[in-house]
């Protein structure tokens, strides 16, 4: 006679095998919003990338926005987003169920969306003049949401970086992140020969970086998360990542930092597509609703609400967070289509957030869809509609206290089944299977079954 696998209480919950001191809130946060915006949104073009003549749509080489460097930056002197409403944005984030929001304080193109003494190229010197970053952090904080700041390590407008010019186009293949792939070892593309600053220029640029980061981390209250980008353009040593980290933590010891500060990140940031293997530590998938990050009227290939909720579920079931991007228009107003999508996500989160927020991945659970867990409850996400019944195996069936459909609160019938020849070890519980008749669809984009245990 064989002996069954046995369960200890809540053995289906896979606890994290890592810590994030000071940033514990990030683990299990589940859902956040990304906000990409700068003066070029007045032109209805992607943020930063038109400067370099490259597409950043996965699998696409064609440039979406054909503008010169001068044409891209030409809208800076006239930037006047009179419809900007930070409170409305914060309330939308709250409505959508976001636990944190990340705002682009400065993207690669160099335009500062905050007041800074280090540059006159920014919102402070626009017709608008107001500090939109300050308004953002105050509104987000007022809604009880964590504050994240995006900051690009490169500045393609700064003379000491050096500034990107038409002579630098097209963006050099050896300067692209893929150049560092192991498959390119020994090839010319693997050697980054892209134009560099002189030592004197680089020293001044490093000072510029540090002074802007000091402004952000001292003038805007508690910053919960720093989202760096553009790290591939220089090495860890060139950035002096360790020195930047030391500065940051001296000012805000508990701030969470993404992995795009090379060698110093707290969590990984796959972008647009699911990683082949889910990261083992803290992670976050950043994703656009359409194809582009910033407001672009021609960006009409938007993902459906059901698709986005499915992605949120799949990310949570693998221990990550989803950071979903929106792009305000040039006048500061929000994209109506994106607002509608976030409101639909929020309606789902109203009754289903317990299955994707502050949950853990599962272990030992045999189910044909993504599952999550918290102590005392297992969640089955019906991303594939069951035809006749839902079957889940590998759970402590002797402690099942009830099964419910989250959308309606309806208690669902179920039957317990065990392999009759297997016996648990003394003092331990048997693992078995639960058969649940397929519930009638509630009308929610994705239905979720909760199994509660005594």
Q: Say what the pLDDT of residue 352 is.
A: 98
Give yes or no for residue 5 having a pLDDT over 50: no
Model confidence at 432, pLDDT cuts 50, 70, 90, reads very high
Check residues 235 and 135 and name the one with the higher pLDDT. 135
Residues in a beta bridge with 452: 377, 402
The pLDDT, as a whole number, for residue 206 is 98
Upper half-sphere CA count for residue 335 (Cβ side, 13 Å): 26
Look up residue 79 and give its two tokens.
């930037």
SS3 306: helix
CA pair distance 174, 197, nearest whole angstrom: 17
For residue 206, is the peptide bond before it cis, meaning its omega torsion is within 30 degrees of 0? no
Q: How confident is the model at residue 9 (pLDDT cuts 50, 70, 90)?
A: low
The 10s digit of each residue's pLDDT in 61-80 is 778 899 999 999 999 999 99
Cβ atoms of 258 and 266 within 8 Å: the answer is yes
Measured CA to CA, the distance from residue 69 to residue 50 in angstroms comes to: 8
Q: If pLDDT is split at 50, 70 and 90, which confidence band does 8 have?
A: very low
**Preceding omega of 60 cis (within 30 degrees of 0):** no
Instruction: Write out the DSSP string of 384-434.
Output: S--SSEEEEEEE-GGGEEEEEETTT-PBPP-EEE--TT-BPPTT-EEPEEE
Which H or E element spans position 339?
helix 336-352
- For the chain, the maximum distance between any two Cα atoms, rounded to a whole number of angstroms, is 81
Pick the residue with more confidence: 426 or 3?
A: 426
Q: Given this model, what pLDDT does residue 54 score?
A: 85
Task: Calculate the alpha carbon distances from 204 to 156, 200, 249, 251, 369 in Å.
Answer: 15, 6, 22, 21, 53
- DSSP states of 41-96 as a string? GGGT--SSGGGGT---STT--S-S----HHHHHTTGGG---TT--HHHHHHHHHHH
Q: Is the dihedral of CA 280, 281, 287, 293 positive or negative?
A: negative
pLDDT tens figures, 336-346? 999 999 999 99
| More confident of the two residues 437 and 429 | 437
- What is the mean predicted confidence (pLDDT) over 383-405? 95
The per-residue pLDDT for 1 is 31
Task: Determine the Cα–Cα distance for residues 133 and 226; give it in Å rounded to an integer.
Answer: 14
Say yes or no to pLDDT of 437 above 90: yes
Question: What is the chain's length?
Answer: 454
pLDDT of residue 363: 93
Is the confidence at residue 322, as pLDDT, over 70?
Answer: yes
Residue 17's pLDDT band (boundaries 50, 70, 90)? confident
pLDDT at 193 (0 to 100): 77
Taking Cα atoms as reference points, which of 301, 299, 219, 224 lies closest to residue 258? Answer: 224
- Where is average pLDDT lowest: 157-161, 166-170, 366-370, 397-401? 166-170
Question: What's the pTM?
Answer: 0.95
Identify the helix (H) or strand (E) that includes residue 321: strand 321-326
Residue range 181-195, pLDDT digits in tens: 788 888 888 888 788
Alpha-carbon gap, residue 184 to 190, rounded angstroms:
6
């Amino acid at each position: 006679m064989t002996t069954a696998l046995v369960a200890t209480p809540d053995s289906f919950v896979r606890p994290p095998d890592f810590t994030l001191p000071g940033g514990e809130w990030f683990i299990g946060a589940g859902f956040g919003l990304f906000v990409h915006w700068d003066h070029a949104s007045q032109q209805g073009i992607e943020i930063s990338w038109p400067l370099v003549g490259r597409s950043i749509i996965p699998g696409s080489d064609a440039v979406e926005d054909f503008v010169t460097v001068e044409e891209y930056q030409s809208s800076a002197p006239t930037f006047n987003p009179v419809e900007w409403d930070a409170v409305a944005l914060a309330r939308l984030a709250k409505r959508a169920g976001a636990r944190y929001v990340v705002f682009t304080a400065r993207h690669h193109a160099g335009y500062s969306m905050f007041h800074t003494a280090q540059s006159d190229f920014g919102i402070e010197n626009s017709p608008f003049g107001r500090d939109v970053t300050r308004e953002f952090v105050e509104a987000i904080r007022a809604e009880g949401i964590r504050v994240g700041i995006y900051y690009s390590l490169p500045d393609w407008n700064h003379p000491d970086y050096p500034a990107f010019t038409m002579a630098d186009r097209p963006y050099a293949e050896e300067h692209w992140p893929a150049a560092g792939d192991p498959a390119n070892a020994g090839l010319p593309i693997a050697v980054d020969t892209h134009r560099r600053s002189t030592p004197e220029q680089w020293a001044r640029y490093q000072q510029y970086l540090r002074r802007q980061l000091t402004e952000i981390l001292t003038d805007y209250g508690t910053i919960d998360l720093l989202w760096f980008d553009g790290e591939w353009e220089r090495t860890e040593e060139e950035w002096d990542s360790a020195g930047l980290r030391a500065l940051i933590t001296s000012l805000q010891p508990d701030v969470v930092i993404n992995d795009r500060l090379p060698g110093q990140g707290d969590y990984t940031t796959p972008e647009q597509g699911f990683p082949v293997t889910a990261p083992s530590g803290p992670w976050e998938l950043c994703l656009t609703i359409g194809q582009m990050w910033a407001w672009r009227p021609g960006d009409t290939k938007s993902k459906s609400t059901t698709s986005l909720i499915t992605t949120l579920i799949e990310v949570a079931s693998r221990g990550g967070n989803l950071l979903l991007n929106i792009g305000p228009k040039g006048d500061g107003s929000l994209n109506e289509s994106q607002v509608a999508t976030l409101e639909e996500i929020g309606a789902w989160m109203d009754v289903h957030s317990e299955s994707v927020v502050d949950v853990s991945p599962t272990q030992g659970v045999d189910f044909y869809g993504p599952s999550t867990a918290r102590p005392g409850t297992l969640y089955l996400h019906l991303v594939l509609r069951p035809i006749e019944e839902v079957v889940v195996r590998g759970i402590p069936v002797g402690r099942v206290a009830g099964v419910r459909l989250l959308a309606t609160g309806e208690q669902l019938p179920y039957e317990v089944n065990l392999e009759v020849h297997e016996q648990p070890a003394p003092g331990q519980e048997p693992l078995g299977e639960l058969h649940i008749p397929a519930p009638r669809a509630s009308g929610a984009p994705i239905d979720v079954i909760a199994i509660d245990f005594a």
